[in-house]
Amino acid sequence: MTQPQPPAPVNPRIRIFDTTLRDGEQSPGVALGHPQKLEIAHTLARLGVDVIEAGFPIASPGDLEGVSRIAREVRGPIIAGLARANRADIEAAAQAVEAAEKPRIHTFIATSPIHMAKKLNLEPDAVVERAVQAVQLARSFVDDVEFSAEDATRSEWEFLVRIFKAAVEAGAGTINVPDTVGYTTPKEMRELFAFLKGALPEHVILSSHCHDDLGMAVANSIAAAEGGARQIECTINGIGERAGNASLEEIVMAFHTRKDVYGFETGVRTREIYRASRLVSRLSGMPVQPNKAVVGDNAFAHESGIHQDGVIKARETYEIMNAETVGREAAVLVMGKHSGRAAFRKALNDLGYEGLPDDKVQYLFGRFKDLADRKGQIYADDLRALVDARTDVPQT
Ligand code: KIV
Ligand code: ZN
């Protein structure tokens, strides 16, 4: 395909900030113990994420200890602790990340009119003051401070510029723009980031943090990058508050597969993706839906005869990425009533029944279709039973 492509982005490297252990753990019903958190953190480091948000240390002594252990034991990524814009939170976060090789404090305050008036009961001026104090206090503990404007996408853009400039002057190096309630659209997100990029100093790293309430978290994160974001906050399997967060594996594989369009790159080792997904699903107790992109059971399974025939001839006919690229077994042909003769013969060959005469395969194929109609999916044992049963082809 030779369609005109946009020019390659300046500075194409996107930092992946994984918040599986913080926002992901905020999924209803999920509570991870220290050994589980540590195992996930090591897996995230092997995956190659740039930042691990290890928890919210003020939430409980257990959370603080969980973040501390990760800070002590996991090397490679930046280890971040979340803190609201107040002294107690920031001190807890500072204590928790103290032993990290690369510690970060991530502090936030809400900036939308509804949050400021109804939740914080603060005037905008007071919110800016709190943000500045929080960033300054955080900077007294660590060099790397991230500031977030909670509910940014429902905030006044001019107010965002005001508070972000103040936070940067106070010492924040990363400015995060959360779509806290999953309300924004890709177009809005791209424009907001382009606007902020133009308004803030060049050295600031803009970050997106999208929730999936309208199913647009991944699209919004990618749009943010197009607008100028160079850090994306996301979780494995997209777990998180309510409908979840932007899913790491979808963003990374979108950039990987459509590099021709986006031109972005991440430091993620894609072959570690599936292992990380399985681990998070098992330890969090949150199953992955079968049709989930990249990591779902069906993501690389072909059922229809037309597709199976195509894939047997050339995988690229129906596969835009290889299963092996994300650390999975090669794509599977699922045998069912939609399967065609080519896939049926291949399945028999794979089971060791090579060289069966054509008329026999034809006969077995008819019986296989009858069985598939009754049973749905057909497994290897069903095929063996078919072949090993009375195998004489009826003479007509
Ligand atoms: O969704 C959100 O606004 C958050 C912030 C704390 C970054 O998770
Ligand atoms: Zn969030």
pLDDT for 331: 73
Ligand 1 contact, 182 CB (< 6 A) = no
pLDDT for 99: 98
Which helix (H) or strand (E) covers residue 81, if one does?
strand 78-84
Q: Is residue 170 within 8 Å of 186, Cβ to Cβ?
A: no
Atom 2 of ligand 1, nearest CA residue:
180
Q: Is residue 233 within 8 Å of 207, Cβ to Cβ?
A: yes
Q: Which residue spans within 182-337 are E strands per DSSP?
A: 205-210, 231-234, 301-302, 332-333
Ligand 1 contact, 159 CB (< 6 A) = no
215 Cα to the center of ligand 2, angstroms: 15
Q: What CA–CA distance (Å, rounded) separates 178 from 112?
A: 11
Q: What CA–CA distance (Å, rounded) separates 232 from 213?
A: 17
For 210, other C-beta atoms within 10 Å of its C-beta total: 32
383 Cα to the center of ligand 2, angstroms: 48
Q: pLDDT under 70 in the chain at which residues?
A: 1-2, 390-396
- Is 245 marked within a binding site? yes
- Is 256 marked within a binding site? no
Ligand 1 contact, 353 CB (< 6 A) = no
Measure the CA angle with vertex 187, ends 186 and 188; round to 5°. Answer: 90
The preferred substitution site among 21, 25, 82, 84 for testing ligand 1, maximizing ligand atoms within 8 Å of CB, is 82
Ligand 1 contact, 174 CB (< 6 A) = no
Ligand 1 contact, 23 CB (< 6 A) = yes
The H helix count followed by the E strand count for the chain is 15, 10
Report the atom number in ligand 1 closest to the C-alpha of 108: 6
9 Cα to the center of ligand 1, angstroms: 27
Ligand 1 contact, 148 CB (< 6 A) = yes
Report the atom number in ligand 1 closest to the C-alpha of 211: 1
pLDDT for 394: 62
Q: What CA–CA distance (Å, rounded) separates 97 from 23?
A: 17
150 Cα to the center of ligand 1, angstroms: 6
pLDDT for 330: 79
Which sign, positive or negative, has the C-alpha torsion 284, 286, 292, 297?
positive
In Å, the largest CA–CA distance within the chain is 91
Count CA atoms closer than 13 A to 304's CA, side-chain side.
4
151 Cα to the center of ligand 2, angstroms: 9
pLDDT for 1: 54
pLDDT for 350: 86
Helix axes 124-141, 87-97, angle to 10 degrees: 30
pLDDT for 10: 76
pLDDT for 391: 56
Atom 8 of ligand 1, nearest CA residue:
23
pLDDT for 392: 62
Cα distances (angstroms) measured from residue 111 to each of 25, 289, 366, 370: 24, 34, 65, 62
244 Cα to the center of ligand 2, angstroms: 8
- Tell me the residues surrounding ligand 2 (ion) with CB < 5 Å: 23
Complex ipTM: 0.99
pLDDT for 390: 61
Ligand 1 contact, 178 CB (< 6 A) = yes
Backbone angles phi, psi at 124, to 5 degrees: -55, -40
pLDDT for 297: 92
Q: Is residue 192 within 8 Å of 150, Cβ to Cβ?
A: no
